[in-house]
Amino acid sequence: MFKILKRVSTRIFGSLFRKRENIKIGFYGPPNAGKTSLANKICKDWTGEEIGSVSAVPHETRNVQIKEKVEIKYKGKVMTFKLVDTPGIATRVDYENFLRFGLKKKVAKKRAKEATQGIIEAIKWLDDVDAVIVVLDATENPYSQVNITIIGNLVARKIPVLVVGNKIDLKKADVKKIEGAFPDYEVVGVSAKEGTNMDEFYESLFRLARRV
């Protein structure tokens, strides 16, 4: 009897402990919303290192990038996360769009090919994350089908979601519009580049982690 109780309690508390110890947080969203910028900001705040490079050219992140054991301390609480930064999800990839940024044709074509593979990889990772931060560009229309598809897939998989409206440092940013588009989700506005409103973000992140 004692052995059974011990096994059950070990399993329950063990799983709770494991979940809190290394929560896999995926960063999802359309290209150029600032997923890597936000992941970089978190990594720099707590580990001193970045997770990946950022660029104005879309599809800069073309492979899933992972940062293990990011320990975040907030208001006396400590949680350890595994950050999974994914390539931006899009329904179209046109190498000609990259030419506008001064890329040579060969380089642009290679980037497009890698971008398509990155999108497939990002979708596959949906099955392997504990919670997701959907990063949206707060200056863009939030009613895009990609955003709806990402969130719909997370709901179907019962994965907790936090929506982040990034780039609030820009005049056109409209976090209220994002809140209106996704009324069932917690939305927090930040500027990953400027580090604005990160306290509120960390508070939301801890709330998200508790739902895992």
Residues that bind another protein (CB under 8 A): 89-94, 112-113, 116-117, 119-120, 123, 126, 141, 143-146, 148-149, 152-153, 155-156, 181
- Please tell me the distance from the alpha carbon of residue 29 to that of residue 23, in angstroms, as a whole number: 19
* 67-93 burial code (b ≥16 CB/10 A, e <16): beebebeeeeeebebbbbbbbbbbeeb
CB of 51 to another protein, least distance (A): 23
What's the token pair of residue 209? 């982690």
Among residues 23 and 90, whose Cβ is nearest to another protein? 90
Among residues 67 and 177, whose Cβ is nearest to another protein? 177
187 in Cβ contact with 179 (< 8 Å): yes
What backbone torsions phi and psi does residue 131 show, to the nearest 5 degrees?
Answer: -150, 160
Which amino acid is it at 30? P
Among residues 4 and 156, whose Cβ is nearest to another protein? 156
Beta bridge partners of 164: 135, 188
CB of 78 to another protein, least distance (A): 34
Among residues 13 and 143, whose Cβ is nearest to another protein? 143
Among residues 80 and 116, whose Cβ is nearest to another protein? 116
CB of 156 to another protein, least distance (A): 5
Please report, for residues 16, 144, 161, the alpha-carbon distance to residue 126 in angstroms, rounded to integers and kept in the order given. Answer: 22, 19, 12
CB of 117 to another protein, least distance (A): 7
CB of 120 to another protein, least distance (A): 5
What's the token pair of residue 52? 């990946």
What backbone torsions phi and psi does residue 82 show, to the nearest 5 degrees?
Answer: -110, 115
What's the token pair of residue 39? 């992941």
CB of 113 to another protein, least distance (A): 6
Among residues 44 and 113, whose Cβ is nearest to another protein? 113
- Please tell me the distance from the alpha carbon of residue 31 to that of residue 89, in angstroms, as a whole number: 6
148 in Cβ contact with 43 (< 8 Å): no
